[in-house]
Amino acid sequence: MTNRFSLALHGGAGTILRSKMTPEKETAYRAGICDALAAGHTVLKKDGSAMDAVVATVCALENNPLFNAGRGAVFTSAGKQEMDAAVMDGATRKVGAVAGVFGPRNPICVARAVMDTTDHVFFTGDAALEIARQAGVPFEDASYFFTETRWQALQDTLRLRAQGTESNDPARRHGTVGAVARDMSGNLAVATSTGGMTAKAPGRIGDTPVIGAGTFADNESCAVSATGHGEVFIKYCAAHEISARMRFAGQSLADAARYVVMEDLAKNDGSGGLIAVDRHGNITMPMNSEGMYRGFVTEDGQLTSLIYADE
The type of residue at 65 is P
- List 15, 57, 157, 176, catalytic entry: 176
Nearer to ligand ASP, 52 or 241 (CB): 241
Q: What is the rounded distance in angstroms from the CA atom of residue 192 to the CA atom of residue 84?
A: 8
Nearer to ligand ASP, 225 or 305 (CB): 225
85, 122 Cβ separation under 8 angstroms: no
Q: Give the total residue count for the chain.
A: 311
CB of 289 to ligand ASP, least distance (A): 9
154 Cβ contact partners less than 8 Å away, ≥ 6 residues apart: 74, 75, 77, 79, 198, 199
CB of 178 to ligand ASP, least distance (A): 9
Nearer to ligand ASP, 5 or 67 (CB): 67
Is residue 304 flagged as an active site residue?
no
258, 226 Cβ separation under 8 angstroms: no
CA nearest to 290, candidates 68, 18, 29, 96: 18
CB of 46 to ligand ASP, least distance (A): 31
226, 273 Cβ separation under 8 angstroms: yes
CB of 91 to ligand ASP, least distance (A): 26
Nearer to ligand ASP, 240 or 279 (CB): 240
Q: Which residues bind ligand ASP (CB under 6 A)?
A: 12-14, 174-176, 194, 196-197, 206-208, 214, 227-228, 230, 272
What positions carry a catalytic annotation? 176
